[in-house]
Chain A
Amino acid sequence: MNAPQGADAPAPTGWRWPGSLRLRLLGATLVTLALALTGAHGWLSGLFRDHVLRQFDAALVLQLDQLTARLEFDAQGQPLIDPRRLSDPRLDKPYSGLYWQLDQVSPDGQTRRGVLRSRSLWDAQLALDPDPLADGGLHTHDSTGPQGDALRIVERSLQVPEQPQARWRLMVAADTRAALAAADDFNGVLAASLAGLGLLLALAALAQVAVGLSPLKGMQRALLQVREGRTARLQGRFPTEVQPLIDDFNGVLDRHAEVVARARTQAGNLAHALKTPLAVLGNAAAQAPQSGLAPLVAEQVQVAQRHIHWHLARARVAASQGLPGQRTPLAPLLAGLLRVMDKLHAGRGLDLSTGEPAADAAFAGEEQDLQEMLGNLLDNACRSARGAVRVSARQEGRQLHITVDDDGPGIAPEQRAAVLQRGVRLDESTPGSGLGLAIVVELAQLYGGALTLDTSDLGGLSARLSLPAAA
């Protein structure tokens, strides 16, 4: 038997790690987003830096071409470049960051550095390692300049017809720091932009997860309604991805209800089929008191009757356990039972009264179960009452309290525990199987409720039934 699902069940809260779909979806989205944006940043900044350097190199090659065009040799075969014919003023300003230099490489591999150089180099020289370049070939180097600047050097190897045995290296260098600083500035702006974009995308992902998972909240609400007994099935329209699940679940609920109903019917049919033969046997025994078998038959018929009554009630209890979605309004059910009591105890002139009726009080369970509990309590009260029986009901929060009072002899406090047990009957002279109260207790416990016996202000017994109330 399951623990009763009452008010003490944990209230449904938000999504929690590690089982949280929301965190999984958000985590996956955010990690992907971060990787994509970081990758994009690296790629874009690399691309831009390449572009800047290519532009830089192109400008250097242009300078080198101009310089190559101005290179002449005099009659002694000495190289000459007229600085006045060079257009860029930075070549005249010392340590301006733009330099040129001409090295001579003799056939034995000896290098004579700085045969000619720009004025901007002042007293410094560009030092390049020997580089066996083909005639006219271009080569690019990175090196450190006279002021510690990061130099980009483009050189061209030349051989002139006047001195076929000698090789010349003509080089142009420029400081890359300004250009790379611009690339760094661009990187900063790019990073800020991508971070902004990332934030927007993260917010969008958050909204998407919230919207995407909202049907789950709807399902949770629908399930809560079923559990609280407001509805018998999951109500509402759900997205097409979720609806099949809802339909299947409703199918399970329907099947459950069907099985319960069938089990009840079968248990009832069996019991009813046995009762008529028992009645015949009992009557036959009563009509032949002189027979030796009569007392045995009468006794065993009683025993069999108690078994049937008990197990039929138990089958009912077992069948009704945990069936969700039940709501039974109290007032009409009580009215029906009082009509029955009126007839069954008609000859006794009982005053059956209901206290202040809780008009909208409802029981979170099956109608038949409440009928069985209240019917037994009322019948007991009517049997033992001298003249008055009073029923009152009160709803306190999620509890429904129904009290049945009578003005009969009552039950002594030390006997109260005993009468709640199966088969105990204090007064053997009145008919009844003695199972009434035990079945009430069993049914009440099934719903997480209780039956308490007390002394009534009317003088007799006060039976108080506490059950879960339906909202």
Chain B
Amino acid sequence: MRILLVEDEPTLRAQLRTALAEAGYAVDEADNGRDAHFLGDTEAFDAVVLDLGLPVLDGLSVLKRWRDAGRALPVLILTARDNWSEKVAGIDAGADDYLTKPFHMEELLARLRGLIRRANGQASPVLQCGELALDTRSGRVTLAGQPVTLTSHEFKVLDYLMHRPGAVVSRTELTEHIYAQDFDRDSNTIEVFVGRLRKKLPAELIETVRGLGYRLVAP
């Protein structure tokens, strides 16, 4: 899962980046509205953490431009403005959630998880595919109740696939959502991760759709 983090205060941005990375997200950053708008317009993100008081272009305008251009990516507004009128304005501009500063990092992460899940049509925090279960809150993966140990990259690939059960996901899409922009991307590594996952999980769980990509199917 890939997150766009928009915050102009460097210390807070660093804290958020660390916390999001520890939670297993690939993080891209912007410290002003213009860069944020450009990144959100051109790259694939699973969610955006958006500050409102930004230099160059304010957060609400960035959000409105995305929505006007038909960009449906989930946006969580993280701001110091806590008036209900400002919350109404934020939600009406197209935000999916609104969190005010100061905040607890756990709450931000919980809200982001919920946001991403709902954006993919998943209601429960525990994603299920046959006997395979992934708890988004704890990051634990179990097969028929038995814990499965995964590396961070294996988890990221499985996490992305489990948010979209039955859908065909291309290798490019997987690459885009697992690595941040400035990461040296190599779509061949995806094949390596999928291969390792097939060894740890029932092999028929991840189906290869020739020429298109992968699909998670319940046996």
A residues with a Cβ closer than 8 A to B are: 268, 271-273, 275-276, 278-284, 286-287, 301, 305, 309, 312, 336-337, 339-340, 343-344, 346-347, 349, 367-368, 371-372, 374-376, 431
Most chain A CB within a 10 A radius of its CB, from B84, B87, B91, B97:
B84
- Cβ contact within 8 Å between A336 and B88: yes
CA distance A337 to B90 in the complex (A): 11
For residue B80, CB closer than 8 A to chain A, the reply is yes
Question: Which residue of the partner chain, among B18, B98, B101, B123, contacts A340 with CB atoms under 8 Å?
Answer: B98
Q: State A347–B116 Cα separation when bound (angstroms).
A: 11
Q: Which residues of chain B have a CB within 8 Å of any CB of chain A?
A: 9, 11-12, 15-16, 18-19, 53, 80-85, 87-88, 91-92, 95-98, 100-105, 107, 114, 117-118, 123
Q: Which residue of A lies closest to B114 (CB)?
A: A347
Q: How far does the alpha carbon of A301 sit from the alpha carbon of B103 in the complex, in Å?
A: 10
Q: Report chain A residues within 8 Å CB of B18.
A: 287
A309 and B12 contacting across the interface, CB-CB below 8 Å: no
- Say whether B91 contacts A343, CB under 8 Å: yes
CA separation between A339 and B91, bound complex, in Å?
A: 7
20 A-B pairs besides A272-B53, A284-B15, A287-B105 with CB distance below 8 A are A268-B83, A275-B102, A276-B9, A276-B12, A279-B12, A280-B12, A280-B15, A283-B15, A287-B15, A305-B102, A336-B92, A337-B84, A337-B88, A340-B84, A340-B87, A340-B98, A343-B98, A344-B87, A371-B83, A374-B84
A contact patch SS: helix
- Shortest Cβ gap from B143 to chain A (Å): 26
Which of chain B's residues have a CB closer than 8 A to the CB of A344? 87, 97-98
Query: Nearest chain-A residue to B100 (Cβ)?
Result: A275
Within the complex, the shortest CB–CB distance from B89 to chain A, in Å, comes to: 9
Cβ–Cβ < 8 Å partners of B97 in chain A:
343-344, 346
The reply to whether B114 and A375 contact each other, CB–CB distance below 8 Å, is no
Contact B101 A276 (CB under 8 A): yes
Question: Chain A residues near B88 (CB, 8 Å)?
Answer: 336-337, 339-340, 371
Chain B residues with Cβ under 8 A from A286's Cβ?
A: 104-105
CA distance A275 to B78 in the complex (A): 11
A-B contact count (CB 8 A): 90
- The 3 lowest CB-CB distance pairs between A and B, nearest first, are A375-B84, A275-B80, A272-B80
Q: Tell me how far the C-beta of A13 lies from the nearest C-beta in chain B, rounded to whole angstroms.
A: 40
Contacts of A284 in B (CB 8 A): 15
Q: Which residues of A contact B9 (CB under 8 A)?
A: 276, 280
- With contacts A276-B9, A279-B12, A346-B97 known, is A339 near B92, CB below 8 A? yes
Given contacts A337-B88, A346-B118, contact A279 B102 (CB under 8 A): yes
Cα–Cα, bound, A336→B103 (Å): 24
Residues of chain B within 8 A of A273, CB atoms compared: 80
The residue from A280, A287, A336, A372 contacting B83, defined by CB atoms under 8 A apart: A372
Q: Least Cβ distance of A9 to chain B in Å?
A: 29
| A268-B81, A346-B118 known; A283-B105 Cβ under 8 A | yes
Please list 12 pairs of residues, one from A and one from B, whose beta carbons are closer than 8 Å in the complex, sorted by A's number. Answer: A272-B81, A275-B101, A279-B101, A279-B102, A281-B102, A287-B15, A287-B19, A312-B82, A336-B88, A349-B123, A368-B84, A431-B107
Interface pair A367/B15, CB less than 8 Å apart: no
Least Cβ distance of B198 to chain A in Å? 32
CB <8 Å contact, A368 and B102: no
Q: Which residues of B contact A368 (CB under 8 A)?
A: 83-85
Residues of B with C-beta under 8 A to A343: 91, 95-98
Which of B83, B91, B102 has the largest count of A CB atoms less than 10 A from its CB? B102
From A271, A272, A283, give the contact of B19 (CB < 8 A): A283
Complex contact B80–A276 (CB within 8 A)? yes
Chain B residues with CB under 8 A of A281 = 102
Contacts of A275 in B (CB 8 A): 80, 100-102
**A282 to B102, Cβ gap below 8 A?**
yes
Q: Chain A: which residue is nearest B52 at the CB level?
A: A272
Distance in Å: Cβ of B22 to nearest Cβ of chain A = 9
Question: Once the chains are docked, how many angstroms separate the CA of A355 from the CA of B82?
Answer: 27
* In the complex with contacts A337-B84, A375-B87, A279-B98 CB distance below 8 A: no
Residues of A within 8 A of B81 (CB): 268, 272
Q: Who on chain B is nearest to A431 by CB?
A: B107
Measured CB to CB, the nearest residue on chain A to B81 is A272
Please measure, in the bound complex, the distance between the C-alpha atom of A368 and the C-alpha atom of B89, giving whole angstroms.
Answer: 12
Whether A340 pairs with B102 at a CB distance below 8 angstroms is no
Given the complex, which residues of B lie within 8 Å of A374, measured CB to CB? Answer: 84
| Contact B15 A371, beta carbon cutoff 8 Å | no
Query: Min CB distance, B212 to chain A, in Å?
Result: 32
Query: Nearest B residue to A286 by beta-carbon distance?
Result: B105
| CA–CA, A273 and B11, complex, Å | 14
Q: Report the nearest A residue to B82, measured CB to CB.
A: A309
Bound Cα distance from A346 to B115, whole angstroms: 9
A372 touches B118 (CB 8 A): no
Complex interface: chain B residues within 8 A of A312 (CB)? 82
Closest to A309 in B: B82
Report whether B114 and A346 are in contact in the complex, using a CB–CB cutoff of 8 Å. Answer: yes
Most B Cβ at <10 Å: residue of A273, A279, A287: A279
Residues of A within 8 A of B19 (CB): 283, 287
Taking CB atoms, residues of chain A closer than 8 Å to B11 are: 280
Q: Which residue of B lies closest to A376 (CB)?
A: B84
Shortest Cβ distance from residue B136 to the other chain A in the assembled complex, whole angstroms: 11
Chain A residue at smallest Cβ distance from B87: A340
Q: Would A283 and B98 be within 8 Å (CB), given that A272-B53, A372-B84 are in contact?
A: no
With both chains docked as a complex, state the minimum distance between the C-beta of A312 and any C-beta of chain B, in angstroms.
8
- Chain B residue with the shortest CB-CB distance to A333: B88
Cross-interface CB contact of A271 among B80, B95, B117, B118, cutoff 8 Å: B80
- Distance in angstroms from A219 CB to nearest chain B CB is 34
Chain A hits for B102, CB < 8 A: 275, 278-279, 281-282, 301, 305
| Contact between chains at B105 and A367 (CB < 8 Å) | no
When C-beta atoms are compared, the residue in chain B nearest to A304 turns out to be B102
Smallest CB–CB gap between B32 and chain A, Å?
Answer: 15
Closest to A336 in B: B88
A331 to nearest B CB, angstroms? 14
Docked CA distance A296–B117 (Å): 36
Q: How many angstroms between the C-alpha atoms of A301 and B82 in the bound complex? A: 17
User: Given the complex of chains A and B, what is the CA–CA distance between A232 and B92 in angstroms?
Assistant: 27
